[in-house]
Amino acid sequence: MRIGLTGVAGFIGSNLADALLARGHTVIGLDNLSMGSLRNIEHNLNRSGFEFHELDVRDLPAMREVFASADLIVHLAAYKIPRYGKAIDTLEINSIGGKNVLEVGRDGNRRVVLASTSDIYGKNPNVPFHELSDSLIGPTTVPRWAYAVSKLFDEHLALAYHSGYGVPVTILRFFGSYGPNQHLSWWGGPQSVFIEAMLRDQPLEIHGDGTQTRSFTYISDLVDGIVLATEYDKDPAIVLNLGNTKEITILDLAKLIYELCRTSRPLNLKMVPYASIGGNYEDVPRRIPDITRARTLLGFEPRIDIREGLGKTIEWQRRILGFSS
């Protein structure tokens, strides 16, 4: 297939591009390089079967042109963390970008595979989350929910484009992924920050008491799931959770990274109360996906244990930041 891929220079996009090329697909990649990096895709730039276009998903005419020959579009470009003043970008890019991609899919009735997030389940206490679980979103005065709401908007719009215009849509809800090419800041997730803090001999900052849990998914497992979903065409409109089902507390994540970094220094944790974070911060207490649907329909199965995945990620991050092993 010829696959249009937005957000190709980002963490998931760059890893997905490699996997799609390895399976013989052509990748027409697009990114505005606001959060992604050419470093992530430079090894593919002169490869046949790969194209890169530096442009913005808010530019519909340009996107129409570069994706004119695509059989299907995978839409990953988005802003993820509306903290630190990025709420306008998050709401704008995710809503306008999502609508534009669906418009491009509507030309020629091409499937749109849309990246959504576990964040749309919000504060729902009933884990694991099934695709039909409720979204329990906090108040609009808490900026973090802008991200979940923007993705809920995208999901609703995708399903409306399906029922209104017949566009085939696949909605994938990713649960926190990590691995090589992850962003080296909070944008990349707590594991990214903890690894860098260990390498620089700084304290590992734990928000709240650290008992909040996540189910971290190694990037190769997530990419396997996205590839399987991209090649699955039996259902014209489908929503799927993709993630690892093993949950770990943030405190245990910090301790595991400390152990895997093999240092003689004592563990240095800095507890940061939610109240001191600012921006009316609210956290999600637990996050575990029910992946029965992806298992049954796609044969999706996460394989990489967190210890193994973090080991590879630490090695990569050491190299990228110029620390010796």
> What beta strand segments (E) does the chain contain?
2-6, 26-31, 50-54, 72-75, 111-117, 169-174, 177-178, 204-207, 213-214, 217-218, 237-242, 248-249, 269-272
Instruction: Please name which of 193, 119, 110, 206 lies closest in space to residue 155, comparing C-alpha atoms.
Output: 119
Considering 147, 161, 232, 258, which one is annotated as catalytic? Answer: 147
Instruction: Give the residue ranges of DSSP H helices in 231-266.
Output: 250-260
In the complex, least distance from residue 2 CB atom to ligand NAD, rounded to whole angstroms: 19
Taking CB under 6 A as the criterion, the residue among 17, 20, 28, 57 binding ligand NAD is 57
Sequential DSSP letters for 265-321: SPP-EEEE-GGGT-TT----S---B--HHHHHHH-------HHHHHHHHHHHHHHHT
The answer to whether 250 contacts ligand NAD (rule: CB under 6 A) is no
In the complex, least distance from residue 131 CB atom to ligand NAD, rounded to whole angstroms: 15
In the complex, least distance from residue 16 CB atom to ligand NAD, rounded to whole angstroms: 9
The answer to whether 289 contacts ligand NAD (rule: CB under 6 A) is no
Binding range to ligand NAD, per CB under 6 A, among 10-18, 131-139, 231-239, 287-295: 10-18
Distance CA 118, CA 151 (A): 10
The answer to whether 80 contacts ligand NAD (rule: CB under 6 A) is yes
121 vs 161, which CB is nearer to ligand NAD?
121
The answer to whether 117 contacts ligand NAD (rule: CB under 6 A) is yes
Q: Which amino acid is at 177?
A: S
97 vs 302, which CB is nearer to ligand NAD?
97
87-107 per-residue burial string, b: 16 or more CB within 10 A, e: under 16: beebbebbbbbbbbbbbbbee
Q: Catalytic site residue 218?
A: no
**Nearest 10 degrees: CA dihedral of 70, 72, 75, 76?**
-90
The answer to whether 215 contacts ligand NAD (rule: CB under 6 A) is no
123 vs 269, which CB is nearer to ligand NAD?
123
Binding range to ligand NAD, per CB under 6 A, among 73-81, 156-164, 263-271, 302-310: 73-81
User: Which residues have a catalytic role annotated?
Assistant: 147
Using CB under 6 A, list all residues that contact ligand NAD: 7, 9-13, 31-36, 56-58, 76-80, 93, 97, 115, 117, 174, 176-177, 183
